[in-house]
Amino acid sequence: MSTDAALAFSRPKGFSDQGPDAARLNRRIEATLLEVFARYGYENVEVPTLEYVDLYHRERLGDALFHSLITARLSDSAEFPARGSIDAAADGSVPRAEALHDVVLRPDFTAPVARMFVSRLAAAGLPDHLPLRYAYAGPVFRELAVSPLRHREFRQVGVELVGCPPGAGDLEVLLLAVDCAEALGLPPWRLHLGHARLFRAMLMDEGLAGEALTAVGAGLEQAARLRQQASGPDAAFRRYAEGYAPELRRFASRDGAVAESLEAPGSADIGQLRADMVATLEARLLAVWVRQHSLAPEVAARILSLAAVQGPPDAVLAALADRARGEVAVAALGALTRLCEELQRRREVDLQLTPASSRGIAYYTGMSFELHCPGTGEALTDVCGGGRYDELHRWIYERARLTRRVREQRPSPEPANLDGVLRGVGLAFGVERLAAALRADNAPRGPLVFVGVLENTRLPDAFDLADALRRLGVPAVAELLGPDRGQGLREQLGQAHHARARYALLIGGREWARNEVLLRDLDKAEQSALRPEDALATLADWMRQGAPRFTKSQP
């Protein structure tokens, strides 16, 4: 094929093809996560790939997601009140409507699931029971600068716990994340935990409000995240720096010279690179906060110092206790302290507290967290994130009430008491990043049996045994070609390895004459001769007892 022809059929940048190996691993990851979710009582839901762009209002979403929306247009439209009219219509006037043709490819599942819940609430009234537990799996889309593990289309698997107050609901979601990590067999991982309301309240206690509060909060989180990355392994930080340095150079060059290490992060001394990147970003943030938001230099420096307040819970909670002054901040700090205690009482977790856990998402109002695998050498180590959002449902509900007023030109009925209903907490795992973390920890094997033959006359028997295994609930594939077509034992075991099979069931002429087959454990390189019915029973028992979906292969 010519170069021009190949380019004519290339895929868009940031979108990927998945071959059998990658797709197999992704499906196993999703199946494992959904099984753990079901153990907690979460039931699967489906939401559209397209949503009206109005659902992703910048003030409710935050800049990080708002600026990554991929938009499209539909021929038909929906009538919504003009943006911002919730506040403007507080006097009871009927707001202006606007026809919306613009839609977006969903950048997350939280907002669509919240919209689905509010739609059902409006149609059927209060649910019979709370909380509601929703699970989901599917692709999301973001207009991002493409880099390794940063795609424009990627898959998320997650949950939303709706109608549950802070405390037990937050703890359930954290325990769910921990149990998922254990079920997947992730390489050493760490839980980064924060509290959006706590850090927002501490900024408000410094006199920040409105746009300044949003901008300074985003900058603080950016600085905290860089410090978090800079404390990680050398290989992971260098890869992170190579992707982030160009943006940081542009950011820093507006105020002066750029450190030499930022010009060549791939070859710079790693210690110098860490120091230069942190110092460069923080110097630039201080300059912007003083100039654009009129902060006194000492106030700006005091706020920025919060970026360094991260680490083990005891030390961080003590440091925050010295700085939390207002009533809201003190209450949020108490909630975070109790959450840490309850989590550590129930699970052994490598727990770190940080202000960088909300990932720039504006709808978080309480606990927020990320789960990181820092030892994989990848630039982006977070594989899961989540948090509490107690205002998103309320905002969507009020928009729905205003829309009804616009369409019917009459006041909408007063809502029932929904204070305990319009609240939620959830999490989402990134499937591609989980796959990268698992591949870095050796290729996983699945609960699969390969049935091979040592001579072609046994091919029908291999087919029958594989079929019997499948009827017993054991995933199995049978050899279809045999030695006479070049598929000798070595080639067949290679096929079993390629299929990530855990066991091979081998049929030979002499063994079969003795009513025996060979059962080989491909991880341990051990095998034993068994009667066919005993081999089937052994494999069925193994499957019933919970065959490990991610048993690691030998390096």
Q: For residue 177, give the nearest of 157, 194, 151, 150 by alpha carbon.
A: 157
Q: What is the pLDDT of residue 92?
A: 59
Structure tokens at 389: 């959002």
Per-residue pLDDT of the chain (555 residues; tens, 9 = 90+): 445 555 566 788 888 888 887 888 899 899 999 999 999 999 999 999 999 888 887 776 666 677 788 888 888 777 777 766 655 555 556 667 777 788 999 999 999 999 999 988 877 778 888 899 999 999 999 987 777 777 899 999 999 999 998 999 999 999 999 999 999 989 899 999 999 999 999 999 999 998 899 889 989 999 999 998 888 888 888 888 888 888 888 877 776 677 889 888 888 999 999 999 999 999 999 999 999 999 999 999 999 999 999 999 999 999 999 999 999 999 999 999 999 999 999 999 999 999 877 666 778 999 999 999 987 767 778 999 999 999 888 888 888 888 877 777 666 666 667 877 889 999 999 999 999 888 765 544 566 899 999 999 999 999 999 999 999 989 999 999 888 888 888 899 888 887 778 899 999 989 999 999 999 998 888 899 999 999 999 999 988 886 665 554 433
The dihedral formed by the CA atoms of 226, 231, 237 and 242, expressed in degrees to the nearest 10 = 30
- 200, 284 Cβ separation under 8 angstroms: no
Q: What are the domain boundaries of the chain?
A: 20-198+325-440, 206-310, 445-552
Q: DSSP secondary-structure letter at 188?
A: S
Q: What is the pLDDT of residue 419?
A: 75
Per-residue buried b or exposed e for 442-462, using 16+ beta carbons within 10 Å of the residue's own CB? eebbbbbbbbbbbeeebbebb
The dihedral formed by the CA atoms of 224, 226, 229 and 231, expressed in degrees to the nearest 10 = -70
| Residues with Cβ within 8 Å of residue 392, at least 6 apart in sequence | 60, 110, 111, 114, 363, 424
Q: At what angle do helices 210-230 and 270-293 cross, to 10 degrees?
A: 170
Question: Residue 273 in 3-state DSSP?
Answer: helix
Structure tokens at 269: 């001394």
Q: Quote the pTM value.
A: 0.82
Span 20-198+325-440 CATH architecture: 2-Layer Sandwich (3.30)
Q: What is the pLDDT of residue 547?
A: 63
Q: What is the pLDDT of residue 420?
A: 79
What would the CATH number be for the domain defined by 445-552?
3.40.50.800
- 553, 523 Cβ separation under 8 angstroms: yes
| Residues with Cβ within 8 Å of residue 11, at least 6 apart in sequence | 17
| Residues with Cβ within 8 Å of residue 138, at least 6 apart in sequence | 46, 49, 109, 155, 156
d(CA 18, CA 137): 17
3-state secondary structure 330-351: HHHHHHHHHHHHHHHHHCCCCE
Beta bridge partners of 437: none
Q: What is the pLDDT of residue 22?
A: 85
- For residue 46, count other CB atoms closer than 10 A to its CB: 11
d(CA 363, CA 430): 19
Give Cα 460 distance to the centre of its chain.
45
Q: For residue 364, give the nearest of 337, 344, 398, 392 by alpha carbon.
A: 392
d(CA 263, CA 274): 13
Per-residue buried b or exposed e for 348-379, using 16+ beta carbons within 10 Å of the residue's own CB? ebebbbbbbbbbbbbbbbbbbbbbbbbbbbbb
Contacts 24+ apart (CB under 8 A), 284-292: 284/251, 284/252, 284/254, 284/255, 285/219, 285/220, 285/222, 285/223, 287/255, 288/219, 289/216, 289/219, 292/215
Q: Are strands 43-44 and 132-141 parallel, antiparallel or unpaired?
A: parallel
Q: How far is CA 436 from CA 148, 232, 244, 340, in A?
A: 10, 17, 20, 29
Q: What is the pLDDT of residue 411?
A: 61
| Residues with Cβ within 8 Å of residue 203, at least 6 apart in sequence | 213, 216, 217, 220, 303
d(CA 38, CA 468): 28
d(CA 201, CA 184): 36
Q: Is 104 exposed, middle or buried (0-12, 13-18, 19+ CB in 10 A)?
A: buried
